[in-house]
Structure 1
Amino acid sequence: MSTPHGWTTTPITTGILRGALDLERTGRGVLPHRLPAAARRQIPDGQLAMAESQPAGVRLAFRTRATTVELDVVATKRVYVGAPPRPDGVYELLVDGRLAGRATATGGDTLTIDMAAGTAESLPGPAETLRFTGLPEDEKDVELWLPHDETTCLVALRTDAPVLITPPNGRPVWLHHGSSISHGSNATTPTGTWPALAAADGRADLINLGFGGGALLDPFTARAMRDTPADLLSVKIGINVVNADLMRLRAFGPAVHGFLDTLREGHPSTPLLVVSPILCPIHENTPGPSAPDTRAMGEGRLRFRAAGDPAEVAAGKLTLTVIREELARVVGQRAASDPHLHYLDGLELYGASDHAELPLPDALHPDPAAHRRIAERFARHAFGPGGPFAPHGG
């Protein structure tokens, strides 16, 4: 695509990106990743490969006097067979921390997913130009947040004034790992996911390793976190272990220990907050796996159900109730020798009374209002006075 006369084209490198752990060069542009190449080589399934390439929390950050910013992208649109169409991913441009514009890419590649058959088919599509105009003429800090749930290949960045790539803003780096809820499922904008909102409240620089379907205590994720510089750490564990029906109680406790051991190899005294699952009624006392609700899909709605048998809990199958008890036990045991390790019961973020007011639309994921509530409560607990992150944020 041609560059207007007198405009500046700025190479998209790791220096201009925040929130990504790697940048892959492709034949069409550069693709931000939230897991490094060594971890990606060990990913065992397409779901996690897709999720880590969706740039939740990833943004371009620079200083400029430009009044117009253009970004060429190739977005990947997901189509779920039998489900209603998904909304286009949203790009948000912030000027000095305030929202100054939103845009969407309507075209791009298409990934068609059949959850019942377990298949996926990709069809290439065109690049598209996003344009943000009417920005203030004075020098300013600009952040361009990429869609949290739409894989985005970055082709070119153009501005009508030069760009200065600035070093990180000096805020504490908060490295968070979690499930699709942390990834931002059902949030409608990239700055509207609960981790992004909590980071703004706590004045922290977010790296969001929330992966839809992928918070499974994978050793390669723990190693990626171990090797990533950070001032604050949190892990939100549980719902994916249940809805994937991945392991039994005998394996779960040692796997949590192993994950935390790996984090402590790289961050021996960093504040580390372990968060148990928020309320999810279908899995409170019923094990996984989760499965699509075919009746709801027949009505054009995406909804999930618990397909496990509560009678199997006695044999070690996991529910959210069991997982909260085990996480509290593991953290309590470790905290005796690790004063920087902390525990937060997810029911304090979203519990029964919250579900009565703001039910989970698809039975698994909070809506935008619930994301805001979870963020406010997390920020108050973690960054507020006496919180585990308090000396670093607020």
Structure 2
Amino acid sequence: MQIITTGITAELVRGALELEQTDRGLLPHRLPAWARAQVPDPQLLMAESQPSGVRLAFRTAATAIELDTLPTKRVYVGAPPRPDGIYDLVVDGRLVDQGSVPQGRAVVIDMTTGSFEQREGEPGTLTFDGLSPEPKDVEIWLPHSETTELVELRTDAPVEPLPGRGRPVWLHHGSSISAGSEAGSPTTTWPARAATLGGVDLVSLGFGGSALLDPFVARTMRDTPADLISIKMGINIVNADVMRKRAFTAGMHGFLDTVRDGHPDTPLLVVSPIWCGLHEATPGPLLPDTSGMKDGQLRFASTGDPAEVPFGKLTLQVIRAELARIVEQRAATDPHLHYLDGLTLYGEADAAELPLPDDLHPDAATHLRIGERFAASFKPGGSLGPA
């Protein structure tokens, strides 16, 4: 059997905005270097380098595929080890196999102090075999919550970049919920599920803890080619307690202004937060409850004072009302701007049926439900669908 090594280049990678050459291979980024340099925050740098929505895409008749990668695992002090990240193998649009790479680096996070420490490790190999010998479209979706350097791709038949299929490019920005949080695999995060059902190509700018109306994210979206755009904003604004209503209103207008500078007529959907009982009527900041970490149970608690809401403190209820008002105001002169209430994706009744395991992030089943509901936006007559 002839083994062919194919150099991993930008033509084989989708969903990343930049590929950094490292001493091992290529590291996909979802923010460009100039943006990362503006806020060198460990949380943001970890989040943007986790390849949510990033996949290798190629056409081949190979029956066997090997991919060497160098993952970076998250290790929480005082908690059991997290499961290895999952790679999804999609052939001709259908999920056919999954795998993991147990080797790699580790970033050790102490939730009580907020410290980050990196420990070095070695690459490992992901293997898929027994595939049909016919030419086929192949996508390998990288783990949505595990930073992954791409080292080497080997196959038993030639590889060529996957040709364009004419699908609209959907650019989405949001929080850890949009990045995938506790989704079951990279193709079952709610944006990935929605993209599959909606027949669009996803570019995900979902950043854990970092959907904060950052100007560099708005400029990145302004400069990224896209046919459809959505912005899901609110939960991190509240749980990080970064601003009050006056600043949020101005910041949201400024964010939209910047995106519109590059995409003046692109369908743009503003999405408010899904249900989260912690912050519906209680402001931030949000703090971790580490008492159950030794048993693998991390929960969160809101610590703000509801009495401060009349003085500008933000809750999810306030955020939803303000986002709806902002979009209504702007839509008078921007007919391609729309609003989606996050409670239609996951509301209080859904929380009773499918509660948030840590009181903050949806579980795997909830990701699928949110994705299936959001996919209606891509249908004819939907906010992001054909006219």
- Structure 1: distance between partners of 2:296 and 2:142: 28
Q: Contact conserved, 2:60 with 2:138, CA < 8 A, in 1?
A: yes
- Structure 2: distance between partners of 1:297 and 1:76: 21
Partner of 1:165: 161
Partner of 2:29: 33
Q: Contact conserved, 1:84 with 1:302, CA < 8 A, in 2?
A: no
Alignment map for 1:305-324 (pairs within 5 Å): 305-324=301-320
Alignment map for 1:154-233 (pairs within 5 Å): 154-233=150-229
SS of corresponding position for 1:144: strand
1:383 to 372, 378, 382: 378
Name whichever of 295-304 and 209-218 sits farther off: 295-304
Alignment map for 1:46-125 (pairs within 5 Å): 46-125=42-121
Alignment map for 1:233-272 (pairs within 5 Å): 233-272=229-268
Partner of 1:43: 39
- Structure 1: distance between partners of 2:37 and 2:291: 37
Name whichever of 255-264 and 33-42 sits farther off: 33-42
Q: Contact conserved, 1:34 with 1:55, CA < 8 A, in 2?
A: yes
Partner of 2:126: 130
1:347 aligns with 2:343: yes
Q: Contact conserved, 2:15 with 2:202, CA < 8 A, in 1?
A: yes
Q: Which amino acid aligns with 1:146?
A: L
Partner of 2:354: 358
Q: Which amino acid aligns with 1:255?
A: G
- Structure 1: distance between partners of 2:79 and 2:238: 23
Cα displacement string for residues 52-82 of structure 1 (whole angstroms, at most 9, x for unaligned residues): 0000000000000000000001100111112
Cα distance, 1:299 vs. partner? 4.7
With over 3 angstroms needed to count, the CA separation of the structure-2 counterparts of 1:187 and 1:251, relative to structure 1, is same
Cα distance, 1:167 vs. partner? 3.2
Cα distance, 1:23 vs. partner? 0.1
Cα distance, 1:298 vs. partner? 5.5
- Structure 2: distance between partners of 1:168 and 1:214: 31
Cα distance, 1:160 vs. partner? 0.5
SS of corresponding position for 2:84: coil
Normalising by structure 1, report the TM-score: 0.96
- Structure 2: distance between partners of 1:316 and 1:294: 30
Q: Contact conserved, 2:379 with 2:386, CA < 8 A, in 1?
A: no
1:139 to 116, 126, 135: 135
Cα distance, 1:10 vs. partner? 1.1
Q: Which amino acid aligns with 2:226?
A: A
- Structure 2: distance between partners of 1:367 and 1:21: 27
- Structure 1: distance between partners of 2:107 and 2:184: 20
- Structure 2: distance between partners of 1:280 and 1:128: 38
Q: Contact conserved, 1:72 with 1:156, CA < 8 A, in 2?
A: yes
With over 3 angstroms needed to count, the CA separation of the structure-2 counterparts of 1:299 and 1:108, relative to structure 1, is closer
Cα distance, 1:388 vs. partner? 1.4
Q: Contact conserved, 2:80 with 2:294, CA < 8 A, in 1?
A: no
Q: Extract unaligned runs of 5+ from structure 1.
A: none
Cα distance, 1:9 vs. partner? 1.1
1:373 aligns with 2:377: no
Q: Which amino acid aligns with 1:67?
A: T
2:146 to 146, 150, 169: 150
Name whichever of 255-264 and 99-108 sits farther off: 99-108
Q: Contact conserved, 2:80 with 2:295, CA < 8 A, in 1?
A: no
Partner of 1:326: 322
Q: Contact conserved, 1:74 with 1:128, CA < 8 A, in 2?
A: yes
2:276 to 267, 280, 304: 280
Q: Contact conserved, 2:111 with 2:290, CA < 8 A, in 1?
A: no
SS of corresponding position for 2:278: helix
Cα distance, 1:209 vs. partner? 0.5
Normalising by structure 2, report the TM-score: 0.98
Q: Contact conserved, 1:91 with 1:104, CA < 8 A, in 2?
A: yes
- Structure 2: distance between partners of 1:15 and 1:222: 25
CA RMSD in angstroms, aligned pairs only: 1.1
Q: Contact conserved, 1:64 with 1:164, CA < 8 A, in 2?
A: yes
Q: Contact conserved, 2:103 with 2:124, CA < 8 A, in 1?
A: yes
Cα displacement string for residues 2-26 of structure 1 (whole angstroms, at most 9, x for unaligned residues): xxx7221111111110100000000
Q: Contact conserved, 1:236 with 1:274, CA < 8 A, in 2?
A: yes
Partner of 2:15: 19
- Structure 2: distance between partners of 1:197 and 1:338: 29
With over 3 angstroms needed to count, the CA separation of the structure-2 counterparts of 1:300 and 1:7, relative to structure 1, is closer
Number of residue equivalences:
387
Cα distance, 1:90 vs. partner? 0.2
With over 3 angstroms needed to count, the CA separation of the structure-2 counterparts of 1:83 and 1:309, relative to structure 1, is farther
Q: Which amino acid aligns with 2:80?
A: P
Runs of 4+ deviating beyond 6 Å: none
Q: Which amino acid aligns with 1:80?
A: Y
